[in-house]
């Protein structure tokens, strides 16, 4: 016999996972576009290392 409640839960989880993956993909595509369209001398990129920031906060 088919457990409809379990199937509904699985379907809901699959939909949520798909939406999260689509959102992450959109974020990555936006970052790639920004990196590809950097105009040197007009924009600055700042890179940080989370571990380094945590050490400063602890000091």
pLDDT over 70 at 56, yes or no = no
The Cα-based distances of 54 to 10, 44, 59 in angstroms read 38, 23, 9
Rounded to whole angstroms, the Cα distance separating 25 from 20 reads 9
Confidence (pLDDT) at 21: 95
Confidence (pLDDT) at 36: 84
pLDDT band per the 50, 70, 90 thresholds, residue 53: low
Confidence (pLDDT) at 49: 61
Mean pLDDT value across residues 2-17: 94
**Tens digits of residue pLDDT in 13-44:** 999 999 999 999 999 998 888 888 876 666 55
């Amino acid at each position: 016999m088919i457990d409809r409640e379990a199937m509904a839960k699985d379907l809901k989880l699959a939909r949520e996972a798909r939406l999260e993956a689509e959102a992450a993909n959109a974020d990555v595509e936006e970052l790639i576009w920004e990196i590809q369209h950097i105009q040197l001398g007009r924009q600055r990129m700042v890179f940080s290392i989370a571990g380094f920031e945590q050490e400063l906060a602890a000091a």
